[in-house]
Structure formats: structure tokens, C-alpha cells
Chain A
Amino acid sequence: MKHIRNFCIIAHIDHGKSTLADRLLDHTGSVTDREKQDQLLDNMDLERERGITIKSHAIQMEYVYEGETYVLNLIDTPGHVDFSYEVSRSIAACEGALLVVDAAQSIQAQTISNLYLALENDLEIIPVLNKVDLPSANPEEVTDDIVDLLGCKPEEVIPASAKTGLGIADILKAIIERVPAPEGDPSAPLQALVFDSVYNPFRGVETYFRVMNGEIKKGQNIKFVATGKKYDADEIGTLKLKQQPKQKISTGDVGYLITGIKDAREVKVGDTITDAANPTTQAIAGFEDVKPMVFAGIYPVDTEDFEELRSSMEKLQLNDASLVFAPESSAALGFGFRCGFLGMLHMEIIQERLEREFDMTVITTVPNVSYLAYTTKEPETPLIVNNPSDLPEPSTLSHVEEPYIKATIITKADFVGNVMSLCIDKRGQITGQTYLTQDRVELTFDMPLAEIVFDFYDRLKTVSKGYASFDYSPIGMRTSKLVRVDILLNAQPVDALSALVHFDNAYDIGKKMCEKLKELIPRQQFDIPIQAAIGAKIISRETIKALRKDVTAKCYGGDISRKRKLLEKQKKGKKRMRQIGNVEIPQQAFMAVLKLND
């Protein structure tokens, strides 16, 4: 046990976490030249392209230091607020953390909230100043920032460049010398923490765990405490670049488990694995059932593809247990699913994976959060509203509660004013303002979660010229004055375009929605009125004027091919649109409400 080190990397997006991980693997000889590629641990194409980690990963390295061989388990964590629960479980599986800070950009909100998580879990923090080779690097100042934040000594901060390999040996040395070896009782009943799981279409669900006490053996009958389900450990092993089956995994070590489970939902991140016959008396603290934060309808563009969409969603759920969905129907869109997501990024990822991996073209409707509605009839019983159309009629509605969050924003002093007015505009109430350093301010707000969903990140980026980072955590439900804004196209209500908004913003949002839809819906062969309404009251109106000319003047020998291709493209575009009544609506119009300020 004393030769094991479990550590994770805490870093903001683009601060070089995945590159640093690649370099550590290189340096410890864990990858052969043939296996080398960038962002080794991010094995989804989507992860590589976006440069973010979506799933947690783990990899074991061996490193000889002063004549002794050490086992280093690196647990790579997702880098986005949508996946903060997974991050917390990965952190709970470690004794140490590399805090990677970009020498040009300094500390960001996401880093800080994960750092606090690590500190709460008593992790040894090794600060790494990355990208010191960049011309824009500002190592002295950023080192001061880190020292201020951690209360460490400046010489404890390791200057590094994951790109050039500078500092890698120092980091490995620090991991071995400064991160404590795991503790635990090898003779106690098995107690292992599930920190992630991945779905393998051939082998079923692979569960990643860290043994806290006892040991797990191949063939052992084991039990998941939270689900109460029992399985045989068909295969266990350690996670090198490829899996290495083992007979047992002992206290303090990290490994994978295959039991033939076919459904990712049976393996819950944060759950405890124990021996079925001789179970531990204590589940590992911190387990939560992950709850979706954002809801949206997903519909096939072509109504005939509903069953195919269902089977695609089911397959997706096998490997992403945090996706929840239930069938629903919309007057405008027919049959589809109301889906729950961890956040907006998660929603985008699901939509993109449906297109890429399942070739499904889908319409995603206006996302919303989960509200509680109370009727005058039964003022004690809350009604869960995950879809604007579920909101009871204004006449029977007593009041509505909406989820609030604590938002933490770190920005430069210059942008404090801009960030504040944005947050106040988004119904935020400021609760704190702390100068982390002379130039870096942490602002905290209580804000409705719904306001984050609607066009918040982009505007934050704009008002802060990119120098703001953002993190949030839920703080419960609060009463709000909400109304449903409906949209009518050609006098027909389109339920999929309805949005729940605060009464004070309803007129403004209704007007902007009409304008945005006018921009996004192509002109057609007739006039199309667009109206926004609250109940029976029309609050805004625009008209898409009919197309007057849709023919080219010239069509001679040289024009025919080009023109045919153009008209084919036009028809293809139309096929990706959804016909509601006699109006063709492009996919992105359903998300118009998210882009009202573009």
C-alpha cells in the first residue's frame, strides 16, 4: 500500500490537463510510441474535438523512484460544471491532486470550486504552473495568485510545460514524496468506491472503483450497497492503457470490474461495492442519485423515426446513465421524449451524439428547468412542471417555485461592473464580493437556475471579454412570478416553442422571440404571422413576408448543373425542417429563445 499514490488533476478547460496527463504517461513509459496520440485519455471523438473531458478516466502508471517501484493511479476528471458530481466522486477516490494553472490565465472559478472539493476531502494539493513556455505567460504573478489561494510556499509551485516536458520529473517526484499513501484496513470487509463506469458494447458495463478497505477478488460475489444488487466479479483488473486482468485488487488500489451488467443505470457513481456474504457496515459517504437540472423535448425531424429515436436514446442511456427521458407528445411535433440533462453542455452532447453515433436528426425544444406549481385547489401539493405545457392555467394557479443556485464568478476587477449588471439583469442577487488578489474578484449571486439556461454563458463571455469563469451549485426552490409565453405561427399555437419566463421579462422576451423567429424561419410562399401570447393576450407580432421571387433569370447550358445542385440543396434543407401546419420550421428555430441577444 505504501507504494501506491492516487491522484487527480484539477484544471480549467484548456489549461492543459489532458496534455499533462499524456506527458506523465510518456515519462513513466506507460505508452509505447505506437500508442501515442494527443489527449490519450479522452477517447470519445467529441472529447478530443471540443478539448474537454466528458467522462472520468483512470490510468495506472509504474514509476521507479530512488530504487523503489511506485504504482501511480491517475484519475482524470470531467472539466465542466455539468459533471461536478462525477468530479466530487473522483476526488473522493484520491489522496492528492495536481492543481494545474495556466501561467497566462491564472485561476478560474471552476478550478477553485474543484479545489475546495479537494481540500474538503483532505487531498494533498500540488500546484503546477503550466504553459510557462508561452510568451504570454506571467509566472511570477500567477505564482503569487496560487500562493495566496493555497497558503503554500512559492517554491512548492512547480513550473512546467506539458508541451515541452519541462517539470514532468519534478511533478512525479512531488506525487511520490508529497501525496500520502492510501490508508485502509486490508483485513476489513470489502469497501470500494465507484467513481465512474463506462459502457462497452461487447462486455457490458465496466465499473471503475477504488478499494478503500479490504480487497476484491476475481469471482467474488459482490453487492452494490445503494442499488442492493448482487453480482459475480467476472473480471477485475487494473487500468493500464489497456485493461490488465488481475486475480485481486487490494486496499488503496484502483481497478475495473466487469460483471456482465448491460445497463449503465445499475451502476451508480458514488455507490459502494462490498462483499455479498460479509458486507461492510458502512457505505462510503457522499453518494447521491444524480438529478437532471435541465429538461427539453427531443423529437425526430421526421415523425416516422420515433421508434428509431427511442431505440437510439435507450442505447445512449446504456452508456450515459445521467440521461433520463420519458415519452411525451406535442401538438406541434407529435411524439418525442422529454429528457433530463445534467446541464446545457450535457444536452448539447446528447444531441450531437444522437446525430453522430445514431444518425438521428432531431429537434430539441426550448430547454427549461424543473418547477413546482401549486394550484389554488390543492395548495399543499406541488405539481412537478418539467414542460411549459404542464403549467396549470393561470386561473387555477396559486404560485410557482423555481430552483435557485449559488453562482460563483471570478473575473478581473475591470469587469466587475459588467458582470454585476448582467447577473442583476438575470434576476440575480449579489451575496458576496471578495478580492482573491488585487486584480481578481470573486462574486457570488443567488440566481434562478433558469436564467443560466437562457443565454448566460455567451453573454458572460462577452461582457467580460472572456475573463470570467463561472460555477454554480443548487440552493433550493424559491417562489417566483412565472408566466408561460406561447408562440403562434400562422395563428396556430406551437407548443414546442412555449417558454416559462418571469413575468417582468415576458413582454421583452415575447418581442425578441418573434423577431428571432422572423430571422430564422425562411420566407415561404405565403405571409406567416408570428405572435407571442400570454394566455389569450397577444403581446407581440411580426410577419414573415411571402417569398415574391423564387426563380433565377437565366438558365442556359452552363447554368443547369449548378442550378440543379442548388435546388437539391434547398430541398435537402427543407427535409431537415419540421412542417407545422403549412409552415416549414428549421431545427434551430426551436432553440431561438436561447439566442435572443445574438
Chain B
Amino acid sequence: MSGIYLHIPFCKQACHYCDFHFSTRLKHLEPVLGAMHQELRDRSGEVQGEVATIYFGGGTPSLLKADQIGAFISAIRKQYTVKDNAEITLEANPDDLDESRIQAWKQVGINRLSLGIQSFEEEELRWMNRAHNQQQAHSALALMAQHFDNYSIDLIYGIPGSSPEQWEATLNTALGYNPPHISAYALTVEENTALEHMIQTGKSPDVSDTRAEDDFKILMQRLDEARYQHYEISNFARDGYYSKNNSSYWLGKPYLGIGPSAHSYDGRTRRWNVRNNIKYTRALDQGESYFETETLTDRDRYNEAVMTGLRTQWGVSYHRIREEIGPKYENYLKMQAESYIRKGWLFEDEERLFTARAAKFLADGIASDLFMLNLE
């Protein structure tokens, strides 16, 4: 089973922290969509079996018209075998939501929304340069909860200048709507973003690890009390409401990424499309190459399985490593994990290795220590 990810590389305005590929020059929208349809047609042969999830990400896919979204879904249904009850998600910005659009999205087949709320604090929203305000955050969420059973909201914590109390207030506000799924991200300073520039020039205080950790603890505590499953570092869900699309990334399942900058993975080879709307469109127009690929070695696959597995509640599967990569990798993993198990930062059962709650915020560093390098 596979997922299809469609990257809609356009936004009305740039959020200060974002380093995803997008452009605010909407005049290129039509040609890019055309090229994406071309890519979908060209690659239908790559997918084995049924498509279980379709995901519109970005950028801001909610700036598309409903029929543009519908055109993609029907094209996929025509050219691929889509599973019954497939999860079809649309990322949406609060300022794009209204009654009629929600109806239209449902009509064309969207059955899950992911809403970029980020914060309920007016000041924080402005500081991040979000397109919506506090009031829109509330109304959009209310509207979505009314129409969708399966949805998620995005929140951001560790914002410089804000307090743990403000974070807790945002969380409580969100919980008041009883969302089935919450993604909560520590604010990260990415390269070549406005945020990085603001920090370097002293216009904004830097993000703080200590603050982020404090907020993360509040997050785990509150959502645990509210009976959410902490199924990935930044993702929490009620039973049965995990994001199937995103989970496939962490479980090493294949996915097809369509659109500029989108990544694909077939279990062996990863490919990524050019991160430029014009180059992407032109290349597809003229039948030229627009992507690069990388074939993963067993060692790469082992490292990725450890890295993604330790982020999730499913842990790293010994079975999968043994069967899909090789027994020596399983042995190596157990050997490397030993000291961390003794320290209580990792724990295991017969079949899996997990990150302990207290060590979750260090999961990358631990994963790196469990990696295998070519020298060994």
C-alpha cells in the first residue's frame, strides 16, 4: 500500500519560520498544477497495489479552488487504484475556511483536514507572520469541528518572548474543541528564513532549548491527561485518528511525492523533485529531467529505521530490521542500545525498542549514537 503526496507550492504570504518550498507568485499556479497532472500520469506505473492515502500539503493547498482539488482526486482515481475509505487530507489555513468551501471540499472527496492554527495568541500569530488572526483561528476551528469528524490542528511552541503559561493557555483553548488529532511543533530556526535573519540581526530573541523543553513537558502532561496517544514526537491522536499518511513515513512505507520539491520513496530509492516552480514546470513541459535520486544501502535503511522508529510509539521493530535488512543489523542495534537501556532512556520488549518518555526530547541524539557508519 502506498500514499500519494501532492505539494502545492504556493502561499499568500510567507510565515517567518517556514522553510518548505513555496512561492507567493500565484500567477504560476495554473502551469504548476498542469505539470503536476503530467507527473501523476507519467508515474502511475510506479505504484504497486492500492493507494491508501492522498495528502495535499504545501505551501497552502487550501488556496486551491475545490474543483482544482477535485481534479487531482479524480485523476488519481482514474490512473491509480485507490483503496475504499482512503484517507484524503487537505492542509488548510484558517483564513481560507468558510462554510461553502468546506462543503465543496467534502464534495470532491476530502475526508480529513489539517488546520494550521499554530497559536490562539494574537501577538504570536503576528510575530510569526501568519495570514490569520486569533478570531479566525477560533471560527475556523469551530467550523471544521462541526463538519469534519477526522481532522487535525497544528500548534507551535517555544516561541521567543512568550511564556509557558501562554503555551498552556493555547493548549487548553485547543483542547476545548476536543480535536481528534494535534500536531505540536517546537519552533525551529531554519536556514535562510526570515526568523533566522531576525535573530541574527537582534530583532528577535533566539529560541531556547530550555523553554522548548519546558513547553514539551507541559504538552506531554496535558495531552496525556486528556487521553491522547503520543504516537510521534510531534503528533498526538485519539485512538484510530492517527495520520495514516504521515505514519507511513515513519514506518518506512513507500510514498509517491508529486510537485516541486516533493520526495518519493519506493522502499529502496528516494527521489526528490526540483525545488523551483519554473524549472519544474518547464522540465515537465519539455520532457526533461526534474529530479534527483538516491538509492539507499542496507546501512542507510537501518539508520532510517532507527531514526524514525525512535520517534514513534511503535518503536524500532527488531523483526523488521532482521527480516528486511538483515540479522547483523539487529545484533548491532541491540549492542548499541544496551547502555541506553541501562540508563533507562530506551526500553524494549521482545520485538521492539522504544524511547522512554523522559528521553523523547533527545531522540535524535540517541538515534545518531545507534547509527551504523561505513567504518564499522
Q: Do A and B bind each other?
A: yes
List residues of chain A with CB under 8 Å of any chain B CB: 525, 547-558, 560-561, 563-564, 567-568, 570-572, 574-575
Contact count band on B: 35 or more
The docked-state distance in angstroms from the alpha carbon of A571 to that of B364 is: 11
Q: Is B286 an interface residue (CB 8 A)?
A: no
Which residues of B120-179 have CB atoms within 8 Å of chain A's CB atoms?
none
By a CB distance below 8 angstroms, the chain B residues around A547 are 209, 362, 365
Q: Does chain A have a CB within 8 A of B99?
A: no
A548, B361: Cβ atoms closer than 8 Å: yes
Q: How far is the CA of A570 from the CA of B371 in the complex (A)?
A: 10
- Which one, A551, A554, A556, contacts B361 given CB within 8 A? A551
- Which of B185, B187, B255, B364 sits near A557, CB closer than 8 Å? B255
Query: Once bound together, how far apart are the Cα atoms of A560 and B369, in whole Å?
Result: 17
| B249 at the A interface (CB under 8 A) | yes
**Minimum C-beta distance from B167 to chain A (A):** 14
A547 to B373, CA, bound (A): 23
Instruction: Report yes or no: B233 in contact with A553, Cβ–Cβ below 8 A.
Output: yes
**A557-B234 CB under 8 A given contacts A550-B363, A568-B371, A572-B373:** no
Q: By the criterion CB–CB under 8 Å, are A558 and B365 in contact? A: no
By a CB distance below 8 angstroms, the chain B residues around A549 are 186, 209, 212-213, 216, 361-362
Chain A: minimal CB distance from B181 (Å): 15
The answer to whether B316 has its CB under 8 Å from any CB of chain A is: no
Contact A567:B364 (CB < 8 A) given known A548-B209, A561-B294, A572-B373: yes
- The 8 Å CB contact of A553, one of B234, B308, B371, is B234
**Which B222-255 residues sit within 8 Å CB-CB of chain A?**
232-234, 246, 249-250, 255
Nearest-CB residue, chain B, relative to A524: B365
Neighbour of A550 across the interface among B185, B187, B364, B373, CB < 8 A: B364
Select A568's contact among B185, B186, B233, B303, beta carbons within 8 Å: B303
B368 interface contact, C-beta 8 A: yes
Q: B367 at the A/B interface (Cβ < 8 Å)?
A: yes
Please, which residues of chain B bring their CB within 8 A of the CB of A551? 233, 311, 360-365
Which 10 A-B residue pairings sit nearest by Cβ, starting from the closest? A550-B365, A553-B185, A567-B368, A549-B209, A548-B209, A548-B213, A558-B263, A550-B362, A551-B363, A557-B263
Taking A548-B212, A555-B249, A557-B263 as contacts, is the C-beta distance between A568 and B373 under 8 angstroms? yes
- Quick one: closest A residue to B156, CB to CB? A553
Q: A550 to chain B: which residues have CB within 8 Å?
A: 361-366
User: For B261, what are the chain A residues with a Cβ–Cβ distance below 8 Å?
Assistant: 558
* Interchain CB contact under 8 A, A571 and B262: no
Question: Which single residue of chain B is at the shortest CB-CB distance from A545?
Answer: B210
Name the distance in Å between A304's Cβ and chain B's nearest Cβ: 12
Which of B210, B255, B294, B369 contacts A571 (CB under 8 A)?
B369
If over half of A's interface residues share one DSSP class (helix, strand or loop), that class is named, otherwise mixed; here it is loop
CB–CB B212/A575 < 8 A: no
Q: Is the CB of B185 within 8 A of A554?
A: yes
Residues of chain A with a CB closer than 8 A to B369's CB: 571, 574
Given the known interface contacts A547-B362, A560-B270, A568-B371, the answer about A555 and B212 at a Cβ–Cβ threshold of 8 Å is no
Q: Per-residue CB proximity of B197-223 to A under 8 Å, as 1/0?
A: 000000000000110110010000000
- State the Cβ distance, A71 to closest chain B Cβ, in Å: 54
Query: Once the chains are docked, how many angstroms separate the CA of A552 from the CA of B362?
Result: 9
**What CA separation (Å) do A552 and B265 show in the bound complex?**
21
B257 interface hit (Cβ, 8 Å): yes
- Least CB distance from A563 to B in Å reads 7
**A560–B185 CA distance with the chains assembled, in angstroms:** 17
A-B contact pairs, 5 of them (CB 8 A): A525-B362, A557-B262, A567-B303, A570-B365, A574-B368
Given known contacts A557-B255, A563-B307, A571-B369, A552 and B300 CB-to-CB distance under 8 angstroms: no
Q: Which of A552, A563, A567, A574 has the most CB of B within 10 A?
A: A567
| Residues of chain B contacted by A553 (CB below 8 angstroms) | 185-188, 233-234
- Does A561 lie within 8 Å of B362, measured CB to CB? no
Residue of A whose beta carbon sits closest to that of B216: A549
A553 and B368 alpha carbons, distance in the complex (Å):
16
Please measure, in the bound complex, the distance between the C-alpha atom of A574 and the C-alpha atom of B311, giving whole angstroms: 22
Cβ 8 A contact of B373, one of A552, A558, A571: A571
Q: Quick check: B210 and A552 within 8 Å, CB to CB? A: no
What distance in Å separates the Cβ of B364 from its nearest Cβ neighbour in chain A?
Answer: 5
Contact B270 A571 (CB under 8 A): no
Asked if B373 and A554 make an inter-chain contact with CB atoms under 8 angstroms apart, the answer reads no
B304 touches A554 (CB 8 A): no
Contacts of B246 in A (CB 8 A): 556
Given contacts A551-B233, A556-B249, A557-B257, 7 further A-B contacts (CB under 8 A): A547-B365, A549-B213, A551-B311, A557-B264, A561-B294, A567-B364, A568-B368
Query: B272 near A: Cβ within 8 Å?
Result: yes
A549, A567, A572, A574, most chain B CB atoms within 10 A: A549
Q: Determine if B375 is an interface residue (Cβ-Cβ < 8 Å).
A: yes
Taking CB atoms, residues of chain A closer than 8 Å to B212 are 548-549
Q: Do A558 and B262 touch (CB < 8 A)? A: yes
Pair B213/A564 contact, Cβ less than 8 Å: no
State the CA gap A568–B372 with chains docked (Å). 8
Considering the chains assembled together, what is the distance between the CA atoms of A561 and B272 in angstroms?
A: 10
Q: How far is the CA of A575 from the CA of B185 in the complex (A)?
A: 31
Flag B291-329 by CB within 8 Å of A: 1 or 0 each.
000100000100110011001000000000000000000
Q: How far is the CA of A127 from the CA of B261 in the complex (A)?
A: 64
Query: B5 at interface (Cβ–Cβ under 8 A)?
Result: yes
What chain A residues lie within 8 Å of B255 (beta carbons)?
557
Distance, CA A3 to CA B232, complexed state (A): 86
**Which A residues lie within 8 Å of B210 (CB)?**
548
**In the complex, which residue of chain B has the Cβ closest to the Cβ of A568?**
B371
Residue ID in chain A nearest B188 by CB atoms = A553
Which partner residue on chain B sits nearest A567 by CB separation?
B368
Question: Is A561 a contact of B263 with CB atoms below 8 Å?
Answer: yes
- Are A560 and B371 within 8 A (Cβ)? no
Q: Are B360 and A570 in contact (CB under 8 A)?
A: no
Partner of B249 from A557, A564, A570, A571 at Cβ < 8 Å: A557
**CA gap between A570 and B368 in the complex, in Å:** 7
Chain B residues near A571: list those with CB within 8 A.
Answer: 368-369, 371, 373
Kindly provide the distance from the CB of B271 to the nearest chain A CB, expressed in whole angstroms: 10
Q: Cα distance A568–B370 when bound, in Å?
A: 10
A354 to B28, CA, bound (A): 56
Give complex CA distance A13, B361 in Å. 52
CB-CB nearest in chain B for A523: B209
* Distance, CA A535 to CA B300, complexed state (A): 49
Complex Cα spacing A575 to B336, Å: 14
Q: Which residue of A lies closest to B339 (CB)?
A: A582
Provide the B254-284 mask, 1 if CB < 8 A to any CB of A, else 0. 0101000111110000101000000000000
Neighbouring A residues of B209 by C-beta, 8 Å:
547-549
List, in ascending order, chain A residues with CB within 8 A of B265's CB.
Answer: 557, 560
- Which of B216, B365, B369 counts the most chain A CB atoms within 10 A? B365
